[in-house]
Structure 1
Amino acid sequence: MASSLIHKTTYEADNAFDSSLTEAFRFLEPQLRPPFPLTISTEPEYWSLNRAILHGILSEPHLAKVHIKHLHGIVIDGYSFFTNSLCQVVDQLYSKLVENVKVQLIYICSQLIDVSASGIDNLLVSLLRQIRGGDFSEPNLWLCLEMVNIFTQKWECLVEERPSIISCALYVFLRALSDHCRVSSNLQVNILKQKSIEFCVRVFKEQSHLCLKIGRDLIRVLQDLVHVPEFKDIWKDLLLRGYDISRLYRTKTCSKYFLLRITPEMETCLRFLLTKVKLGSQTRYQIWFARKFLNGPEKETVLIDIVRFVCCAYHPSNAVIVSNVVPRWVVIGWLLTCCTKNYVEGNVKLALFYDWLFYEEGVDNVMNIEPVILLMVNSVPKYVHMTNNLLEFLFILVDCYDVERKDLILKGVSGAFDEVKRKGVVKSFEVLTTCDGISPFLKEKLVKMLSLKNLSGFDKL
């Protein structure tokens, strides 16, 4: 069955969800023209009519307003089924949608915000997740600009009724800006950059409490924008006007923010790699993943977000941990080898160690810090250069990341080492403290770190 919504090659199987929309539209098309029958006999008929109207809005832009009025007339569930169906379109089909359908998606989204549709925040999240990191293609820049416009134009409504979505948008646009601010010669990027900055600055100035809901990763993403003039005042506010940075450091960032920077397709591939692929058989899957998602001059910046996802948003079950599938630390090691630019490698390592710096028992999850300690331990002796590299970076962070709050960081890192041993992630650190391949200087630093028991000893390191 030919689809008017998606691009499909001749050898591709039909998509079940796309087919359900097309079938509903073809069967009920006579009912989609005025005058509308406003009586619906059964629940399944209501669902089918919703699908038919959705297909009509997406495939017939010239009749979109008519279809929207029809939807308003028949809706009995607060638009819940309709909005959920839209989320499925975005999550399952977005990369295959024809261009005019993508335009219609933005139109419908705007209309549903106006009527406070049930689940509109989920739809906005689905669209935000399709903004790909490090992707300067015209379609990706277009989507990012359209989403900035939606959040700007619907500001009052969203702040009043869906405030939590504002912090999600802020996180996405701050991360996108870290890519866009590295490009200055592209007119489309410059327009997008300015609008994104205006939105983010407005959130900080008018809804600062929503910014702080992001937690410690707010500081991490802001650091990439310290060179942007508009964000210098934001830093002054954070540092000088009463914000407790230490408290923000101690606030763990919810995993939903890390999911925002991973497309559903990428998440599916990563979860497959981490739950189904046997250790030793992962190379061809990694090559395929890299070609699909990392193949481009700027696309490797998404590695930063992938590392945060693997560490903080995907925690394997006990059954997976004891199986022979690829462990997270192996995937992290591979991701580090994908870095070709120094600034990307530095940010990937920061993403890997970030929860170590502020680790607090009872607040943080040991699974967030597990991958890197296992990577360091298991890299000895065959890949001891990896262990040296990671330990050196960790101790640079301890000394230099935030000098004014070094005691807090020392406490966090010391607590993280204590926790991974106490929870049995590693049996001991002897493999690190006795290995001849590890720098004597790093071993000395590590031994001192492991000996710290309380805050009073932190100045000895």
Structure 2
Amino acid sequence: MARMTLYKLDELDEPKVYENEMHEAYISYDNLLKRGNTEVDVQNALLDKRSDDKKYKETMYGILFAILTGKDSTPHFNRMCVCVRDQFGVIVDRLRALMEAADFHRLRQPIVIKMLQLIEKLIEMDAKEIDKLVEIALRQAAGSNTTQANIEYCDTLLGMLERNRIKYLYKRGKMLRLSLYTYLRLIRDHLDESFDDLRRREINFCIRLMRDQFHHCKLIGRDLVRLLIDVASITEFRDFWRDLLYNPQILDERFDGLKTLVRMPTQSVYLTNRISPHLERLLTAIFKQDSYSGYRRRWQWLRDKYFSRPGSQYLAVDIIRYIVCVIHPTNEMLRSNLVKRYQIIAELISITSDEIIRPSALLALFYDWLFWKAQDNIMNIEPAILLIMETFESRNWQYCQMLIEFLRYEAYGFCKPLSEDIKKSVDAAMETVLTQRRSRFDRFGKLATNKLGNAFLRIGLVGKVHKKLCAASTSNTPSKAASNISSNTLNTPSSALPAVPPPSTFSSTPITNSATPVPTNNSTPTPASTLPSTPAPGSTLNSATGSTTGLVTGVGFHLAKMVVSPATPSSPVPMDVDGDPPKSYTNSTSVTKSSKIVKKVNNGTSLSSSIVPPAEKTSKDASLWIYGKNLEQFRDATSLSVQKSILPIILDTFEKHMVEDAPKKISGYIVPAIRESMTKSDLFTAVMDKLWSLDSESSKSKMLELLRLIGDVDNGHALVSFQVLLSCLRKAQEESKDAFFDAPNLKVYKDLINYQLEMSNGYEDLKFVKKQRVHEDFISLHKSNIMLFQRATFTIMEYLREYCMGEVTFVLLLVSKITPILSYELQIKLARNQCVIFGDKYDEILVFALDWDPIEQYVLFQILNAEVGGRVDRVEKMLTTSSILRALDRSENPEPLIGLLDILRTVPPTSLIISSIMYLMSNASDRLQKQCSLEFVITAFQQWYRNSPETMRAVLTNYMRELSEGMKNNNTKESTKEHAGNLLDVIISWYNDSKAEITENFLKNDEFYSSIKRITQLLGKQLLTDWLTIRTPETNTEAEDGK
């Protein structure tokens, strides 16, 4: 009999490692079955192997192989359930390894389907880390792939999710969101008539998830809107769009509408969900290439594999969003010769030749511009501006204009109700680019006098940008286009730009093929890409077509080496900004970044050409005579030891003598060597030692200026500021023997941050830029020396409070790997009001914390309890202003629920607090979750009752009175009735648990009894028989008279 295999292998292919191991284990398991043993004997033999780890794994692998390759998997799975000891952890790990492997696509199709069937059984058994396995399964549902194998995979996976929708997805918010994001994206791939049944099921699945659990779904963020735009013309989604735009409270009582949704950035886990593990590995390999040949070879291989099939172009949209929001290179990678993000994005845009998909690709690139906030990550908008800069500098005017025009039309017409907010966001994004003093953005501020600067001015998006661009101009007279702009309104002369129609994106209404005219002067453009309002009857997704003539032609160029093909004789030759024909670029004439910045000299030291003008390198300034030959000796020294001996002498002279503009004059001699040895800290340590020895403010200012000049080399300000922070903390640590030391010298670090940024031109939002710089230093400190970070926690919170309080970055670093002693000291200081962590920003931290590790969530709520515990006003504010209660679930987030109970125990009950926790029952998606929420509320009631029975009775009575008064109105909201019914369920369940206590302290109280009786009558229900017998006839009569 031929050997059963997992993979489709050719004759020359070697068997896979996983398959060999599992097959050998299967042979042992199969021999046990063939011995004629009874089922009891087989199970006993399997149980004997449980105690030995190696034999246990072999047994589980053998059974797994039998399940995947056999005809009937039921008896094998039953045996697996008998001998399992680790909650199927071994099985889940092996299935994850098979599904994440690079050769997953070579698994035989029946094996893949059986893997999904086994995953469904593991969901029913609540296997260990089953969520991670389901997440991998969702990633393997490939987008833009309509092969029979992938369609069968998507269909089987959808069936599994449909059957486990209530008992699995509704209890795990993250998995619900991942499932929705996956199939909302796949719908547009299955528009062909041959996929009607699958598409219908996908639509119903997504609509049901959003209708039933929108309070979970909205946490996806703004990319949920982007996917909904793609399917807006489908009838079922058309109705959903109406509710989303005009009646959002139907979806979620606390949902404010589209504006709130688009302001929420999408977390990377959802964008990564549409990139298969194999594709992710390919992209990672491409971004690690530092040679043109290696990059082109891998890119061509990726393109042939993923974009050779019909209908595969839309995958480029998913990859662009992944690159923009997930792949964030470090500063070292940006300064290197590795492949840049905008280069790959340019390749992907050139692939999308379809006139419908091209605008979607551009929207994926510019999407975060439309909703930019100061606290967002600048890396999300960096690729777009770099792509614009490089296309302009390579004189590809048509491509550059396409990008600018697209941003212009989306800013004005992406969503009419939000147009003003979107224009402000684009303004803020442009301001951020202009104010970031980074080498890759420096060129952008110097383009005022050329066509790119004028093109941006003619967009009219940024009111202050034209002033900055003109300020960078060498001419004293601004251009005509620049002088025409005086506000954030569009002012585009009809002759200023070529008549190019706007790019079209998916619209709810059919778009004609006629080009949209360019608006005349003082008019607002009418973009084709708008959010759906009221879709036209009968319109379909395929009706969203539009002309992009002039936008999609001639863009198949490569940015890897900035090679610009010469213009053909039939096309007009583009002119340089000065009127000269463009220069030709070839590989042989390309100049690397390192050769532009650093010039090597014969003695082995490197000097930065950006520090000292060439004239100063050959002739020494006369005012530097007091340094003697020390500067030249330091600069020309060939060993680090010589430089270390000379540098203190130079710094002493520098500090004692008042030479005008001394830091700048000596920087050309000493700064390059100090900057080059920053990672070793030898020379930089000498600079910091000198700084610590200074007393006068004037001398410290001179040293700060010198530190700023060190940071100017290769944009090293972040490295310098981190080294200064490290030096401050280490010096304070040396001077203190306490576990948590004080570091008042952090004032030097703050002064340096202020000095670096304020001395740099162009920063508008200094507060945000400073916060971003400090947080980067915090992260570097946490990675490099976590013990120092923890010992310095309190002094950092004291002297850098504005960068710590209410900041999710700092809080995550704080709770990550926290030590018991730090946790104890922190809670003591919070309880005594000696420090503050949350402030008023509860929601900004707690919502992000739901995706943290369980131990980090537990520690976070301990810290929160220490800060707000015992303070009624803070607890009420936290419960009423935070949306955290909407997302809590016992099965998915037990730690926050435990922490919330601890917090509630510290304060007396109030009507507002009771009303807030009752939302847990209102948000329950099924009977089990509602029962769990009911138990939570009863536990909170019992805690309050044990502390003060009288207070609990009075507050509960008052709350019931308020509910009953509200229910007397005929226009009572359903939520009020629901709250009243839930409260009655709580009291009944509480009575069944503690009849004596409830009877004596509550039901025998006239006011309480009257309130609960009134609510019961208004709900159309009857009081419990036990409650009626508790009251004597006289008491009942008096209660009725009082009513």
C-alpha separation in 2, matches of 1:31 and 1:203 = 46
The one-letter code matched in structure 1 to 2:380 is: N
* Pairs within 5 Å for 1:7-18: 7-18=8-19
Residue 410 of structure 1 aligns to a residue whose secondary structure is helix
Residue 131 of structure 1 aligns to a residue whose secondary structure is coil
Report how far residue 279 of structure 1 moved. 4.0
C-alpha separation in 2, matches of 1:254 and 1:157 = 25
The one-letter code matched in structure 1 to 2:372 is: Y
Report how far residue 398 of structure 1 moved. 0.5
Instruction: Look up the match of 1:379.
Output: 391
Instruction: Look up the match of 2:21.
Output: 20
Whether 1:214 and 2:212 are equivalent positions in the alignment is: no
Render the CA deviation track for 1:11-46: whole Å, top value 9, x for unaligned.
333322233222322344334674222122322222
The one-letter code matched in structure 1 to 2:21 is: S
Render the CA deviation track for 1:93-118: whole Å, top value 9, x for unaligned.
43111122112112101111111112
Residue 149 of structure 1 aligns to a residue whose secondary structure is helix
Instruction: Look up the match of 1:153.
Output: 163
Q: 1:262 is matched with which residue: 269, 275, 294?
A: 275
Instruction: Look up the match of 1:427.
Output: 442
Whether 1:132 and 2:147 are equivalent positions in the alignment is: no
Q: 1:74 is matched with which residue: 75, 83, 105?
A: 83
Q: 1:321 is matched with which residue: 314, 320, 334?
A: 334
Whether 1:296 and 2:284 are equivalent positions in the alignment is: no
Instruction: Look up the match of 2:465.
Output: 451
* Pairs within 5 Å for 1:349-360: 349-360=362-373
Identity of aligned residues (%): 26
Whether 1:236 and 2:242 are equivalent positions in the alignment is: yes
Instruction: Look up the match of 1:202.
Output: 208
C-alpha separation in 1, matches of 2:130 and 2:33 = 24
Residue 270 of structure 1 aligns to a residue whose secondary structure is helix
C-alpha separation in 1, matches of 2:118 and 2:158 = 16
TM norm structure 2 = 0.42
Instruction: Look up the match of 1:395.
Output: 408
Distance 1:322 1:2, change over 3 A: farther
C-alpha separation in 1, matches of 2:458 and 2:170 = 54
The one-letter code matched in structure 2 to 1:69 is: N
Report how far residue 318 of structure 1 moved. 3.1
Instruction: Look up the match of 1:338.
Output: 351
Residue 348 of structure 2 aligns to a residue whose secondary structure is helix
Instruction: Look up the match of 2:528.
Output: none
The one-letter code matched in structure 1 to 2:237 is: F
C-alpha separation in 1, matches of 2:433 and 2:61 = 50
Q: 1:84 is matched with which residue: 85, 93, 97?
A: 93
Structure 1: which 5+ residue stretches go unaligned? none
Distance 1:29 1:238, change over 3 A: same
Instruction: Look up the match of 1:411.
Output: 424
Residue 88 of structure 1 aligns to a residue whose secondary structure is helix
Render the CA deviation track for 1:388-421: whole Å, top value 9, x for unaligned.
1111100111011012111211222122222234
C-alpha separation in 2, matches of 1:323 and 1:44 = 46
Q: Is the Cα–Cα contact under 8 Å of residues 259 and 418 in structure 2 kept in the other structure? A: yes
C-alpha separation in 1, matches of 2:3 and 2:435 = 59
Report how far residue 277 of structure 1 moved. 4.8
Q: Is the Cα–Cα contact under 8 Å of residues 216 and 250 in structure 1 kept in the other structure? A: yes
Render the CA deviation track for 1:208-266: whole Å, top value 9, x for unaligned.
11220110001100001111000011101111113421111110001111111111111
Q: Is the Cα–Cα contact under 8 Å of residues 377 and 432 in structure 1 kept in the other structure? A: no
Render the CA deviation track for 1:367-390: whole Å, top value 9, x for unaligned.
121111111112223233222111
Residue 442 of structure 2 aligns to a residue whose secondary structure is coil
Report how far residue 129 of structure 1 moved. 1.1
Report how far residue 360 of structure 1 moved. 1.0
Render the CA deviation track for 1:153-176: whole Å, top value 9, x for unaligned.
111111343232111111111111
C-alpha separation in 1, matches of 2:4 and 2:397 = 54
Distance 1:124 1:240, change over 3 A: same
Q: Is the Cα–Cα contact under 8 Å of residues 279 and 324 in structure 1 kept in the other structure? A: no
Return the structure number with greater relative CO, CA threshold 8 A, min gap 6. Answer: 1
TM norm structure 1 = 0.92
C-alpha separation in 2, matches of 1:57 and 1:419 = 56
Distance 1:428 1:22, change over 3 A: same
The one-letter code matched in structure 2 to 1:153 is: R
Render the CA deviation track for 1:57-79: whole Å, top value 9, x for unaligned.
111132x1111111111222221
C-alpha separation in 2, matches of 1:365 and 1:51 = 45
Residue 301 of structure 2 aligns to a residue whose secondary structure is helix
Distance 1:431 1:177, change over 3 A: farther
Render the CA deviation track for 1:267-292: whole Å, top value 9, x for unaligned.
11111001135246422322211110
Instruction: Look up the match of 2:117.
Output: 107
Q: Is the Cα–Cα contact under 8 Å of residues 377 and 431 in structure 1 kept in the other structure? A: no
C-alpha separation in 1, matches of 2:82 and 2:55 = 15
Q: Is the Cα–Cα contact under 8 Å of residues 388 and 439 in structure 1 kept in the other structure? A: no
Residue 157 of structure 1 aligns to a residue whose secondary structure is coil
Q: Is the Cα–Cα contact under 8 Å of residues 99 and 137 in structure 2 kept in the other structure? A: yes
Whether 1:370 and 2:382 are equivalent positions in the alignment is: yes
The one-letter code matched in structure 1 to 2:335 is: V
Q: Is the Cα–Cα contact under 8 Å of residues 432 and 443 in structure 1 kept in the other structure? A: no
Report how far residue 457 of structure 1 moved. 5.6
Q: Is the Cα–Cα contact under 8 Å of residues 392 and 442 in structure 1 kept in the other structure? A: no
Instruction: Look up the match of 2:58.
Output: 48
Distance 1:12 1:449, change over 3 A: farther
Report how far residue 452 of structure 1 moved. 8.7
C-alpha separation in 2, matches of 1:326 and 1:122 = 31
Q: Is the Cα–Cα contact under 8 Å of residues 457 and 466 in structure 2 kept in the other structure? A: no
Q: Is the Cα–Cα contact under 8 Å of residues 170 and 213 in structure 2 kept in the other structure? A: no
Distance 1:31 1:449, change over 3 A: farther
C-alpha separation in 2, matches of 1:32 and 1:431 = 78
Residue 96 of structure 2 aligns to a residue whose secondary structure is helix
C-alpha separation in 2, matches of 1:433 and 1:2 = 71
Q: Is the Cα–Cα contact under 8 Å of residues 307 and 313 in structure 2 kept in the other structure? A: yes
Residue 194 of structure 1 aligns to a residue whose secondary structure is helix
C-alpha separation in 2, matches of 1:209 and 1:246 = 15
Q: Is the Cα–Cα contact under 8 Å of residues 131 and 140 in structure 1 kept in the other structure? A: yes
Residue 61 of structure 1 aligns to a residue whose secondary structure is coil
C-alpha separation in 1, matches of 2:400 and 2:84 = 59
